[in-house]
Amino acid sequence: MMMEKQQQNRPNLHNAVFLRSAVKVADFPMDDRPQIVFAGKSNVGKSSVINKLLGRKNFARVSAQPGKTVHINYFDIDKQLYLVDLPGYGYARVSKAEQQRWGMLMEEYFALDLLTLGVQIVDIRHKPTRDDMTMADWFRASGKPWLVIANKLDKIKKSQIEGNIAVIRETLLLPEEVEVLPFSAEKGIGREEALTRIFDHTGKEDVE
């Protein structure tokens, strides 16, 4: 009986729909559903991570030209929570005007205190960039829990994992409670661990 009740409470990841692209405050959903906020550099594989978590191949758009649009994409997950995809940052060919527009949109979103859990995606192969550090500052200043997904795990040797994660923690000045999860969007490694952490923070049951 308890197991049946837990199954009924689980968000169905297959029941995920694109809700809207927000370019201004009026576009942000303001209800009481949890908002899981994903952020990462334009070339870090953020869309691929989201697709792998949801078990969908082409749900979140994987763009060949990153950094071209500044908007926040909202996905409705089983009418229980929102997956919030922030615009990619750190794309060198974006104009200063676009960078400023990105900054203003971030300020507006974070000022409204809508975030439930932040998910910052970095490249496990490399030391986080200054832009990654800025994004970590946004999450830190929010006072809300966040975790770091270190993507592209399949591109490094097992012997490199521990040291690379230590560099990520040190560079982003992560407090002890912020976990860094090794992840491979290509192989699916770390998917269950990431989903467990996400639903732990939203009060939802884990999913299979």
**Among candidates 192, 194, 167, 164, which has minimal Cα distance to 179?**
194
| pLDDT at residue number 99 | 80
| pLDDT at residue number 58 | 75
pLDDT in tens, 26-59: 999 999 999 999 999 988 999 999 999 998 887 7
Residue 202 has pLDDT above 90, yes or no: no
Q: Where are the domains of the chain?
A: 2-202
Three-class SS of residue 39? strand
Predicted TM-score (pTM) above 0.75: yes
Q: Which long-range contacts (CB under 8 A, 24 or more apart) does 137-145 make?
A: 138/39, 138/106, 138/110, 139/39, 140/173, 140/175, 141/110, 142/110, 142/113, 142/115, 142/118, 144/115, 144/116, 144/117, 144/118, 145/117, 145/118, 145/177, 145/178, 145/201
| pLDDT at residue number 6 | 41
| pLDDT at residue number 44 | 92
**Which has the higher per-residue pLDDT, 135 or 95?**
135
**Among candidates 59, 178, 159, which has minimal Cα distance to 118?**
178
**Which has the higher per-residue pLDDT, 62 or 100?**
100
Instruction: Grade residue 61 by pLDDT with cuts at 50, 70 and 90.
Output: low
Mean pLDDT taken over the chain? 87
Q: What mean pLDDT is predicted for residues 15-24? A: 91
| pLDDT at residue number 172 | 98
Question: Which CATH superfamily hosts domain 2-202?
Answer: P-loop containing nucleotide triphosphate hydrolases (3.40.50.300)
Q: What mean pLDDT is predicted for residues 189-196? A: 96
Instruction: Grade residue 5 by pLDDT with cuts at 50, 70 and 90.
Output: very low
Three-class SS of residue 126? coil
**Which has the higher per-residue pLDDT, 139 or 1?**
139
Residue 187 has pLDDT above 80, yes or no: yes
Q: What mean pLDDT is predicted for residues 109-116? A: 95
